[in-house]
Amino acid sequence: MTRSKHVDFWKNSLIGLVFVFLYLPILVIIVFSFNTSKLNILFKGFTFKWYALVFHNVQIMSALENTLIVGIISTALATIIGTLGAIGMQKYNFPGKAILDKVLYIPIVIPEVVLGIALLSIYSLAGIPLSLFSLILAHVTFCIPFVVLTVRSRLVGIDQTLEEAALDLGATPLKAFIQVLLPLLIPGIISGAGFSFALSIDDVIISFFTTGPASTTFPLQVYAMVKTGITPEINAISTLMMLVIVVGIAANAIFQVSKLKRSKRK
Amino acid sequence: MEKSIDSENVPITKTKSHYFSKTLIKWGQILPISIWMLLLVVIPLMYVLIMSFMSRDFYGGIVYKFTLSNFAQVFAGQNLKIYAQSIGIGAVSTVVCLLIAYPFAMFIAQKGPVAKTILMALVVVPSVSNSLVRLFSWITLLRKTGVVNTTLEHLGIIHHPLSMVYNTGGIVLGMVYLLLMFMIIPIFNSLDRIDHNLIEAAEDLGATKWQILKEIVIPLSKPGIFAGCIMVFIPSLGYFFVSDVMGGGTSTMMGNLIENQFQTSRNWPLGSAISVMLIVLTLVLLVLFQRRGGDMADLGGR
Amino acid sequence: MTDMKEMIRLSSIKKNYGDVKIIKDLNFTVYEGEFLTMLGPSGCGKTTTLRMIAGFEEPTSGEIMLNEKPVSNLPPYKRKINTVFQNYALFPHLTVAQNVGFGLKMAGVPKVKRGPQVEKMLKLVQLEGYGNRKLDQLSGGQKQRIAIARALINHPQVLLLDEPLSALDLKLRKQMQLELKRLQRKLGITFVYVTHDQEEALMMSDRIAVMNKGHLEQIADPRTLYEQPKTCFVANFIGESNIFYGKVSEITKTDTKVTIENGYLTLQSDKPVFEKQIVNIVIRPEKVKFSTTEVPGFHIPATVAEHYYAGNVNKSVLRLPNGMALKMTSAGDQKLPEIGKSGFVYWELADAILIKTTSDDVFKAVDNPDFSMVNQMGGD
Amino acid sequence: MTDMKEMIRLSSIKKNYGDVKIIKDLNFTVYEGEFLTMLGPSGCGKTTTLRMIAGFEEPTSGEIMLNEKPVSNLPPYKRKINTVFQNYALFPHLTVAQNVGFGLKMAGVPKVKRGPQVEKMLKLVQLEGYGNRKLDQLSGGQKQRIAIARALINHPQVLLLDEPLSALDLKLRKQMQLELKRLQRKLGITFVYVTHDQEEALMMSDRIAVMNKGHLEQIADPRTLYEQPKTCFVANFIGESNIFYGKVSEITKTDTKVTIENGYLTLQSDKPVFEKQIVNIVIRPEKVKFSTTEVPGFHIPATVAEHYYAGNVNKSVLRLPNGMALKMTSAGDQKLPEIGKSGFVYWELADAILIKTTSDDVFKAVDNPDFSMVNQMGGD
Amino acid sequence: AKHSKTLNVIGWSEYVPQSVLDRFTKETGVKINYTSYSDPDEMLSKVLSSANGTYDMVLAPGMYVQILRKLGRLDKLDKAEIPNYQNLSQTALNEPYDKFNQYSAPYLGTVMGIAYNAKKVKTPIKSYQDLLKPEFKDSLVTVEDSRAVVGCALMATGHKINDTSKAALADASKYLAKLKPNIKIFDGSSPKTSLINGEVSAGLIYGGEIALAMQNNPDIKVVYPKEPVYFAYDVFMKLKKAPNGTNVDKFINYMLAPKTSVKFSEAFPYYNPNKQAVKLLPKKLRDNPAVTVPNNVLARSQTVLNLGKETTKIDKVWNDFKGDQ
Ligand SMILES: Nc1ncnc2c1ncn2[C@@H]1O[C@H](COP(=O)(O)OP(=O)(O)OP(=O)(O)O)[C@@H](O)[C@H]1O
Ligand SMILES: Nc1ncnc2c1ncn2[C@@H]1O[C@H](COP(=O)(O)OP(=O)(O)OP(=O)(O)O)[C@@H](O)[C@H]1O
Ligand SMILES: NCCCCNCCCN
Ligand SMILES: [Mg+2]
Ligand SMILES: [Mg+2]
């Protein structure tokens, strides 16, 4: 018994260390967002000023705005196209299905640079100007596969006969979809959308190649600043963004855990 | 018995449209994704392939004239060195990720369902904040006048600041930091999927803890390990910004090479040729992965 | 039967999946108010047939008639047929009442009107007051009943049930069998029921269609199937049987002799066979009798090989001189002959079932694990 | 039994998960070479008990003895006990031979020596030459046999089998039952077998331990359990039964009268009861007889309510004057009285099984769906 | 787009202060999207690969006037809209890349000097050759600018900055090969940072960056090698079919106003060719040799010109230098 406690201690220590590794940089971001000094070396004093300043920084704000525009539109498009695609691919056989299935993995596995330059090349060939539009096309492209994957993993858990049951009970195919399949898919769709949004707002490489002068996103803005040194303003806005997203995730996690607990009690 | 197909049955034949609308629904689901993937994945990549056999004019324009010279350049000595170095960095990062992720995922997989859910969520949470900002935190911490060096010097533990970033080690650190979760998730999933009965069965048959690990757990989690390795190794080759930020620009990944050809040297055909090599390498790894019984869905990081 | 109204008729139905022929020329009729069961081993095409009737699949060729009208062009939601799915297929995101009322909602019945009807259906399946429950608060049997209530709310002319009880445990299954049967009698709705459990089929059905590898082996009422199986497959699939393979060697006024391996069997003389005909003879285990002393009339020497106690009955294995094992069932409280004891098996000549058959059919029977098992045991 | 060697003994075993008492004071002994079956409904604690014997779980209190030595401190791999898991738990990444040889490999037996032993085990389970196959090339029954071969290779003194056949379909299950039984006889190894299928338990076991809600209801050989159940639970769980609840009202020289609702039953006079005692009386359906004319001796008036044909038997439901439904089983070829006909039920007095019981026990029996079903049917 | 309200500029990073851009926006209502690059080739790439009209104007080294003109990508400036052009000093005008000042307006001038941390570097640096010393192993920073760095190498080995002869390039390559082990960081955007925070002890970097480093860390000093030095103007150019063409002229005029010029010169203290602005500069900047390049240094300076196809040779030298470890 004591031996196993010993073992548990070492196991938990390793888990703890890995989490320290993962979270240390985040701690740095947060701490230095309150630092009076701009230099990010020593903590000179506590201040909120960067939080105020960042909202007056036109560049950062416009980059954030671009990021959100691209993130929201790409997520919406990718979610719709990906969800429909996942359902269609599960339900039907059609020529080229096997190929489409493989193609969907390409954006996931090939290095992002390759997709980035491929899109840049095709835009250049087709005369599509680099802009928010071109950026959205690119983001939708790499988000779709993740939506398909999450929705599909949810779909396999959904009994196919449910839709048939609905048809059997007099629902038209559209009603069956809206009344039965969609409500059941919602968690998968939401997590696919969440995944897409997270990917989109953090993308550096593909955006790097497909962005235009008026569509600099937050990550690209940061990339441009990295060499000079990231200012506490960036730390401040990053802290705020994290706060928003973490609250979302935590709410979801609490929901999941309580669901787990409920089902365990059964 | 007598079939009375009369006017009464006419409405029934009208509902033939039912099959028409069925077809409409089917293609309404399949076409958008198919067309999107065709236009924005298949054709662009085909174009890259075509470009890799084309020539360039001086200012970077593409001349549609077949040549193999790009591939000759791809295999030029100095490029080979970069591949070797890039693959080296990728491989080391992959191994480091594996060594950290495997025990970590295993210990988490041994926990109860609630703890598991929470801990795995915590693995993903850092990725919600900007990668570059997080990467830069390491610079803040580890550069010569960074938090760590300054503190250590203050404490008199060191007298000359340690060189921890802006070198190859820095790149590996950056890669490991950004990609670790892509190793953890598939390994965790594969471990979590292992039927606990199998472990008890092994125990029942006289296996010790180590034997169980060696004979049952590791072999059964191989698909996860392989998936993790792919998800770390392949992107690492392309993550040019990591070597930019963490490596001071002196070390180059294949991604930097491609980026250079497209962004500065304006040699798109050469950049395409290198990309084609990268695509081929990826495909080879994927084929191996599938041959080994890997599940492609594991590559999605879910 | 001819004066009954036809409800469903399958004419020359064929169904291929790709190149594979799943259903091969299926023809049968279901009459109004009948409880018809489709019985057959896994993969024989029962579900496929049901799905064609429901409209989820199109036959590759042939015609399905509902109420004497072809339905090929009717989508599922326009057929007055409802289905109870094997795994219930209840909507997990809806409450019990919402599940039951789904059909009404789809038909555009306003909410206020749905309530009483839902409650009526719940009462029918003895689940009054369960309307607000979530599905995960229900037991398997309760879910089953909800599925039935849901399927019945639109007053279908036909109810299709695909192995509705297979997910339930034995005791519950037996209980639900009775309940279902009672419900069908009460409502008078036509039931097309699918199962691969022969006991269930026997107990519940007016008629049983025995299917095998995509074709119909025999369709008849339970007693006819059990007592006059037309093929070895049916004999073997319904109830237990001992099957002999032989050739008619002699037909006299009083009896007919059939030569089997190392011996012969006697049949009643009225069986319509001719000399040299190859036949199978089926004896049900409960008709087999054993005596240590020679009995008058037909008998074969045999040795007692094994006994198994099964509560109300004893199951015995007897070994014939040629090594073949013969199953015998006797009452549980009956005294059993000792293992190893020699004696004679015999049966009423009228109990021997004659199957006029080709040798092909015999091998089919031998493929059956239960049958081959006995021979295997006899062999070692 | 007392002269047999004790193999496993459970003394006052209790097991809690958190606050929930899963096993409540379990005591029984398994003798060497015995085929002991643990039978009970789902969730009654069979698996938990097996896992404690195997060593995967520790009892909360009590002692388990193996070979008359306590094993509490022995980890699973040091007990000479092996397990055949419910879902086989075969190692999917290994071949058949590697699976079977796993135990030897763990024991450090070199590869060359493992080969012949593996082949021997495969032969034992009739799978010679299957060594190089991958698991996904095997059928369910073959996997089952591999699991057995794997468990047997280390020559355990006891083999634990947790519902080893539950994943197989009916025909295959019946075949494997016979094979398992044969194997156990051949090897003489002690088997502790878990099932919730009473028929399986009856056919295979030397003795059966009937469990219910974490305690032992009765442990005995199959015939005793069937013919002399000690509790209503056992009577109901093993075989079908009609259960009456009543009070001993009169004891005379020739017989004993028990008052039931609206009437009375007669028992043989030798039953050890006293007046005013509350008892249950169990009649097996196959002992129930029906006659349209009054029979001499004990009888109760009844009406024929329903018939179900089950091939070799007919199942009937008879209604008593108090509304209670009585199950009756008769031979399949016997002529059945018409439904609605009135007459009399009767049975041999010796066939009535007396259960001396508290009223608590009755309610337990009433909880049983099969039992409540009958009453329910009687009630409407 | 007559009354367009945006202006898409592509220019050096760390070169135009945001506050200056913001003021222009405030005054005119024109929003500026400033895309930055850290290597002029990157700019060229972006301009060439994007559709016409993606960018309105470029801020890049003077030689790019030649390149972009050759590619037909430039429009003439509308000088009438740029009265402040007259504020420019004569020395910055009529440069070989734009003999008649039709296509460009100079912004700031860049000299490549050697910056060092006096605390870490004890022996004085006098020549490019001194950078090859082993004591500098892994402790130099240099800009990511092929023409500038290869140019310095050419000058270090006694050649002209625009010499692409085999022999000259071979010498330059040799010099760079020896320099390589000493380089820790290539940084085109902000080489000062690594100097300031002590990551490197010396570097071959742009004058303005040196001046900034000196402001932030008093230990940083500047020195010009005895050999010729690199000097180049960064100029504004108007791209062809610029949808916001009139805004380009307006913006250039705004940038050439002394008031504005002082602002960006203070923020990025490069050599300022605006005579009116220089007068207004604080003394500290005027006296800093990194900003106000001494005349003798200017006298021995050389400037890069477009070399046409020969550029590939420089590219090769550069790539060998950067890529090879
Ligand atoms: N969509 C399909 N595509 C190809 N083959 C199919 C399809 N659906 C069923 N089959 C095949 O058709 C055959 C008959 O299947 P079906 O489901 O009708 O059998 P079943 O009699 O219902 O069996 P079970 O008792 O196992 O439910 C099987 O061999 C099955 O593999
Ligand atoms: N690890 C555990 N933690 C808490 N409760 C448990 C655990 N394992 C089993 N139980 C509970 O213990 C009870 C007995 O479980 P057990 O698995 O022994 O039943 P069983 O008789 O084998 O049933 P079945 O026939 O369904 O396999 C069940 O109510 C179960 O929910
Ligand atoms: N950080 C921007 C520095 C710009 C210096 N101009 C360089 C011109 C040299 N070609
Ligand atoms: Mg089926
Ligand atoms: Mg169990």
Closest CA to D260 of D368, D373, D352, D377: D352
Q: Determine the pLDDT at residue D278.
A: 84
Answer yes or no: is pLDDT of D359 > 90: no
Q: Is the Cβ pair C103, A266 closer than 8 Å?
A: no
Q: Determine the pLDDT at residue C366.
A: 38
Answer yes or no: is pLDDT of C379 > 70: no
CA A28, CA A41: separation in Å to the nearest integer? Answer: 10
Nearest CA in chain D to C332: D223
Give nearest CA residue, ligand 1 atom 2.
C17
Residues composing chain D: 380
Q: Determine the pLDDT at residue A250.
A: 82
Average pLDDT, integer, range C1-17: 87
Ligand 2 pocket, Cβ-based, cut-off 6 angstroms: D 17, 22, 40, 42-48, 196
What class, spelled out in words, does domain C242-369 have in CATH? mainly beta
Closest CA to D58 of D88, D96, D16: D16
Residues composing chain C: 380
Using the mean position of ligand 2's atoms as its centre, give its distance from the Cα of residue D47 in Å.
7
Q: Quick one: what percent of chain D has pLDDT higher than 90?
A: 55
Q: For residue A81, give how far its alpha carbon lies from the nearest alpha carbon of chain C (Å).
A: 24
How many domains are contained in chain A? 1
Residue D150 makes CB contacts below 8 A (sequence gap 6+) with B205, D90, D99, D100, D102, D103, D121
CA A252, CA A245: separation in Å to the nearest integer? Answer: 11
Chains A and D touch (3+ CB pairs under 8 A): no
CA D7, CA D33: separation in Å to the nearest integer? Answer: 8
Q: Determine the pLDDT at residue E2.
A: 52
Percent helix, strand, coil in chain E (nearest 5)? 45, 20, 35
pLDDT tens profile A183-199: 999 989 998 999 899 99
Band the pLDDT of E152: cuts 50, 70, 90: very high
Give nearest CA residue, ligand 1 atom 7.
C17
Query: What one-letter code names the amino acid at B244?
Result: D
Following DSSP, what letter does each residue of C31-94 receive, concatenated? Answer: ETT-EEEEE--TTSSHHHHHHHHHTSS--SEEEEEETTEE-TT--GGGSSEEEEBTTB---TTS
Nearest CA in chain C to D207: C309
CA E47, CA E56: separation in Å to the nearest integer? Answer: 10
Nearest CA in chain A to C137: A266
Q: Which tokens is C5 given?
A: 């109204």
CB atoms within 10 A of CB E309: 10
Answer yes or no: is pLDDT of D374 > 70: no
Q: Residues 330..349 of D with a Cβ closer than 8 Å to C: which? A: 331-333
**Domains in chain D: boundaries:** 6-233, 242-369
Domain that holds residue A204: 57-265
Tell me the chain B residues in contact with residue E144 when contact means C-beta distances shorter than 8 Å.
249
Q: Determine the pLDDT at residue E221.
A: 95
In angstroms, the Cα distances linking B53 to B47, B70, B80 are 10, 7, 19
Q: Quick one: what percent of chain D has pLDDT higher than 70?
A: 93
Average pLDDT, integer, range E317-324: 80
- Give me the sign of the Cα torsion angle C140, C141, C143, C148: positive
Instruction: Tell me the CATH number for domain D6-233.
Output: 3.40.50.300
Average pLDDT, integer, range D177-204: 91
Rg of chain A on CA atoms, in Å: 23
Judge whether A38 lies within some domain: no
Answer yes or no: is pLDDT of D285 > 60: yes
| Distance between first and last Cα of chain D | 49
Q: Which tokens is A111 given?
A: 């290095």
Which class for C253: exposed (0-12), middle (13-18), buried (19 or more C-beta within 10 A)? exposed
CB atoms within 10 A of CB A92: 15
Q: Determine the pLDDT at residue E237.
A: 97
Average pLDDT, integer, range C333-337: 86
CA E164, CA B19: separation in Å to the nearest integer? Answer: 73
Q: Which tokens is A6 given?
A: 């010993």
Q: Which tokens is C20 given?
A: 């594979």
Average pLDDT, integer, range C161-165: 92
Closest CA to C343 of C270, C291, C297, C278: C291
Which class for E128: exposed (0-12), middle (13-18), buried (19 or more C-beta within 10 A)? buried
- Give me the sign of the Cα torsion angle C110, C112, C116, C118: positive
Q: Determine the pLDDT at residue C72.
A: 80
Ligand 3 contact, E144 CB (< 6 A): no
**pTM, full prediction:** 0.84
Following DSSP, what letter does each residue of D24-88 receive, concatenated? Answer: EEEEEEEETT-EEEEE--TTSSHHHHHHHHHTSS--SEEEEEETTEE-TT--GGGSSEEEEBTTB
A184 touches chain C (CB under 8 A): yes
In angstroms, the Cα distances linking B198 to A220, D50, D95, D130, D193 are 49, 16, 15, 21, 20
Band the pLDDT of E283: cuts 50, 70, 90: very high
Q: Which tokens is B296 given?
A: 């492609």
Using the mean position of ligand 2's atoms as its centre, give its distance from the Cα of residue D48 in Å.
6
pLDDT tens profile D145-156: 999 999 999 999
Q: Determine the pLDDT at residue A182.
A: 93
Tracing tokens 């060439």 back to the chain, one arrives at E48
CA D62, CA D74: separation in Å to the nearest integer? Answer: 15
Q: Is the Cβ pair B41, A29 closer than 8 Å?
A: no
Band the pLDDT of C364: cuts 50, 70, 90: very low
Average pLDDT, integer, range A23-45: 87
CA E59, CA E238: separation in Å to the nearest integer? Answer: 9
Band the pLDDT of D167: cuts 50, 70, 90: confident
In angstroms, the Cα distances linking D92 to A26, A84, B285, D134, D165 are 42, 35, 24, 8, 19
- Among A162, A263, A266, the residue with its CB nearest the CB of C91 is A162
Closest CA to C242 of C331, C332, C337, C355: C355
Judge whether A34 lies within some domain: no
Answer yes or no: is pLDDT of A203 > 70: yes
Decide if E252 contacts E82 (C-beta within 8 A): yes
Judge whether A160 lies within some domain: yes
Average pLDDT, chain D: 86
Comparing D49 with D3, which gets the higher pLDDT? D49
Band the pLDDT of C4: cuts 50, 70, 90: confident
Q: Determine the pLDDT at residue C2.
A: 52
Structural domains of chain B sorted by starting position, each given as residue range(s) with its CATH number in brackets: 74-300 (1.10.3720.10)
Q: Determine the pLDDT at residue C287.
A: 93
Residues composing chain A: 266
Q: Determine the pLDDT at residue D357.
A: 65
Which class for A154: exposed (0-12), middle (13-18), buried (19 or more C-beta within 10 A)? buried
Average pLDDT, integer, range E187-203: 88
Decide if C241 contacts C283 (C-beta within 8 A): yes
Band the pLDDT of A3: cuts 50, 70, 90: low
Judge whether A49 lies within some domain: no
Q: Quick one: what percent of chain A has pLDDT higher than 90?
A: 65
Judge whether A206 lies within some domain: yes
**Most confident option among A83-92, B137-146, D352-361, E183-192:** A83-92
Band the pLDDT of A263: cuts 50, 70, 90: low
Q: Determine the pLDDT at residue B20.
A: 66
Tell me the CB-side half-sphere exposure of residue E4, using CA atoms within 13 A: 16
Interface of C with A (CB under 8 A): 54-56, 75-77, 81-83, 85-87, 89-93, 102-103, 105-107, 136, 150-151, 154
Buried b (16+ CB within 10 A) or exposed e, D6-42: ebbbbbebebeeeeebbbeebebbbbebbbbbbbbbe
Tell me the chain B residues in contact with residue A87 when contact means C-beta distances shorter than 8 Å.
29
Which atom, in ligand 1's list, is nearest to the CA of C40? 21
pLDDT tens profile D237-284: 898 899 888 888 888 887 888 888 767 888 877 777 788 888 888 999
CA A32, CA A23: separation in Å to the nearest integer? Answer: 14
Residue ranges, chain B, pLDDT below 70: 1-20, 249-251, 300-302
Rounded to 10 degrees, the C-alpha dihedral E64/E70/E73/E75 comes to 90
Residue B122 makes CB contacts below 8 A (sequence gap 6+) with A19, A22
Using the mean position of ligand 5's atoms as its centre, give its distance from the Cα of residue D26 in Å.
17
Decide if D82 contacts D95 (C-beta within 8 A): no
In angstroms, the Cα distances linking E55 to E20, E243, E255 are 19, 8, 18
CA E128, CA E140: separation in Å to the nearest integer? Answer: 13
Answer yes or no: is pLDDT of D364 > 50: no
Decide if B276 contacts B48 (C-beta within 8 A): yes
Residue A193 sits in a domain of what CATH number? 1.10.3720.10
Query: What one-letter code names the amino acid at B252?
Result: T
Using the mean position of ligand 4's atoms as its centre, give its distance from the Cα of residue C47 in Å.
4
Q: Determine the pLDDT at residue D377.
A: 31
Tell me the chain E residues in contact with residue A120 when contact means C-beta distances shorter than 8 Å.
49
Answer yes or no: is pLDDT of C368 > 50: no
The Cα angle at residue C153 between residues C147 and C159, in degrees rounded to 5: 65
Decide if C371 contacts C378 (C-beta within 8 A): no
Q: Determine the pLDDT at residue C372.
A: 31
pLDDT tens profile C53-103: 999 888 999 999 999 999 887 888 888 999 999 889 999 999 999 999 999
